[in-house]
Amino acid sequence: MQLVTSPVRTSRPQALAIAADLKRWWDEECADWDATVAGTDPTSIPTGVDLWDDMPTVDSKAIARTSPIFERHLGLPLNVKFIRPGGYTSIDDAIADLVPKMDAAAKDKLGLKVRKGGES
Amino acid sequence: MDKLDTSHPTVRALELLVPEVMVAGGSYAAWLPHPGTVPVENRAAMMGSARQAAVAHCVRSLLRSVGVDENAIVGVGEGGERMWPAGFVGSLTHKGTVVLGVIAPVSSAWMIGIDIERTDGDLAEVESSIAAEGLAPGMDPRTARLLTFSAKEAVFKAQYPATSRFLGFADVQLLWEAGGACMRAAVRCPVQGLNVRAAQVGRWIVSAAISIDHTDT
């Protein structure tokens, strides 16, 4: 399995695994668009309006769609309150912001379950 | 860079949704070359730079529309909210090559938030998180999920300047009215008085959350 170097603040293997899945998901999101652009004749559609409109961006809707990845690894859906207002500049920016927050949230939930004697 | 294309259908859609406020914005697609002529590694930066200029253009238009100096500073607060001139509320949104904005004196609207989405990408896997109260009736589920997402984003943005509180999807319930070209919903959330109005135009969904009644505070 190829390791992905992401700017996460924790070196825990689980955080790296989450980052790798997020990066893989984003690469798949972008691959379709890149292929569409490559297959389009620039001279036939001069400005490519629809193409730019369809360009994947790391905005709140895109990030919301990563919730299943967090749930698969941490047992928690993404807490949307963690999403930075205004979105992110890149997938690495989003990973660096959200993975530590979700990691901490999962720890808090685990600590709560332990204090309650294992009740969910 | 030239002016925004104000003939973009989302501009008119937003004007019809919230006639109580001033609307500005449009498309900046004409500022960009075909993406196939731009190196892959430069596309995001080019789009980001154009978007930034378009947002600035929209802000200046909004300020002019209410008689404020267009060079007035509209900063960004800690929660990502725009710091509009005293006595005014406003909101900005952007997606693809479109930027939209609204502004109004607080006598016209004391909370306003807008959002725009493209009808691409499905939110099926997160429906239970974003729309626990159910979807708008009479729509295909995929569009209804996007509608709920967009409307709640507008609510988040509308209430934040008044509360400084980040809300989650579960903090907001939308009670959609049946029928009508403009989709409307009552809002249940920690802040009273908001209602949602939304429209789909082509591959766009435009949403607004607005409160015009100060007696509901």
pLDDT by residue for chain B (217 residues), tens only, comes to 679 999 999 999 999 999 999 999 999 999 999 999 999 999 999 999 999 999 999 999 999 999 999 999 999 998 889 999 999 999 999 999 999 999 999 999 999 999 999 998 889 988 998 999 999 988 999 999 999 999 999 999 999 999 999 899 999 999 999 777 789 999 999 999 999 999 999 999 999 999 997 654 4
A64 in reach of chain B (CB within 8 A): yes
pLDDT at residue A116 greater than cutoff 70: no
Specify the pLDDT at position B178.
Answer: 77
Best residue in A29, A44, A52 for a mutation probing chain B (most B CBs within 10 Å): A52
Band the pLDDT of A10: cuts 50, 70, 90: very low
Please check whether residue B71 is in contact with residue B57, taking contact to mean a CB–CB distance below 8 angstroms: no
What are the angstrom distances between the C-alpha of B107 and each of B43, B64, B83, B89, B111? 42, 18, 17, 10, 10
pLDDT for residue B215: 57
* A7, pLDDT greater than 70: no
Predicted local confidence at residue B214, as pLDDT: 65
Q: Is the ipTM of this complex over 0.90?
A: no
The pLDDT confidence band at residue A11, using thresholds 50, 70 and 90, is low
> Quick check: A104 contacting B, CB < 8 Å?
no
Q: What is the pLDDT of residue A49?
A: 73
pLDDT at A119 > cutoff 60 = no
* pLDDT, tens digit (0-9, with 9 covering 90-100), for A21-42: 999 999 998 998 888 898 877 7
Contact B40, A38 (CB under 8 A): no
Closest by CA position to B150, among listed B176, B180, B114: B114
Chain-chain contact of B126 with A38 (C-beta, under 8 angstroms) = no
- What is the pLDDT averaged over residues A11-27? 91
For chains A and B, count residue pairs whose Cβ atoms are closer than 8 Å: 88
- Cα separation, A59 vs A43, whole angstroms: 30
- DSSP class of residue B72 equals S
Burial status of residue A67 (CB atoms within 10 A of its CB: 0-12, 13-18, 19 or more) = buried
Which stretch of DSSP H or E encloses residue B75?
Answer: strand B75-76
Contact A40 B80 (CB under 8 A): no
Tell me phi and psi for residue B5, to 5 degrees: -80, 100
Structure tokens at B111: 């909370």
Instruction: Give the burial string for B141-174 (b: 16+ CB within 10 Å, else e).
Output: eeebbbbbbbbbbbbbbbbbbeeeebbebebbbb
Which residues in chain A have their CB less than 8 angstroms from residue B149's CB? 61, 64
Q: By three-state DSSP, how is residue A100 classified?
A: helix
Collect all residues with Cβ–Cβ distance below 8 Å to B190 and sequence separation of at least 6.
Answer: B159, B163, B165, B167, B171
pLDDT value at residue B198: 97
Query: To which residue do tokens 């390791």 refer?
Result: A3
DSSP lists the bridge partners of residue B196 as B185, B209
Q: Which is nearest to B195 in space by CA: B167, B164, B158?
A: B158
Top-confidence residue, A116 or A13: A13
Closest Cα in chain B, distance from residue A86 (Å): 6
**Mean pLDDT, rounded, for A86-106:** 92
Residues of B in Cβ contact (< 8 Å) with A57: 47
Distance CA A50, CA B34 (A): 10
Q: What pTM does this model have? A: 0.89
For the stretch A29-88, pLDDT in tens is 899 888 889 887 777 655 567 899 999 999 999 999 999 999 999 999 998 889 887 788
CB B187 within 8 A of CB B196: yes
Contact A73, A14 (CB under 8 A): yes
The minimum CA-CA distance between A30 and chain B, rounded to whole Å, is: 11
As to burial, measured by CB atoms within 10 angstroms (0-12 exposed, 13-18 middle, 19+ buried), residue B108 is: middle
| A1 interfaces chain B, CB cutoff of 8 Å | no
Q: With bands split at pLDDT 50, 70 and 90, how would you rate the model's confidence at A2? A: very low
- What is the Cα–Cα distance from B29 to B49, expressed in whole angstroms? 12
Q: Using the predicted structure, report yes or no on whether residue A95 has a pLDDT greater than 70.
A: yes
φ/ψ of A114, rounded to 5, equals: -65, -45
Distance from CA of B66 to the nearest CA of A (A): 25
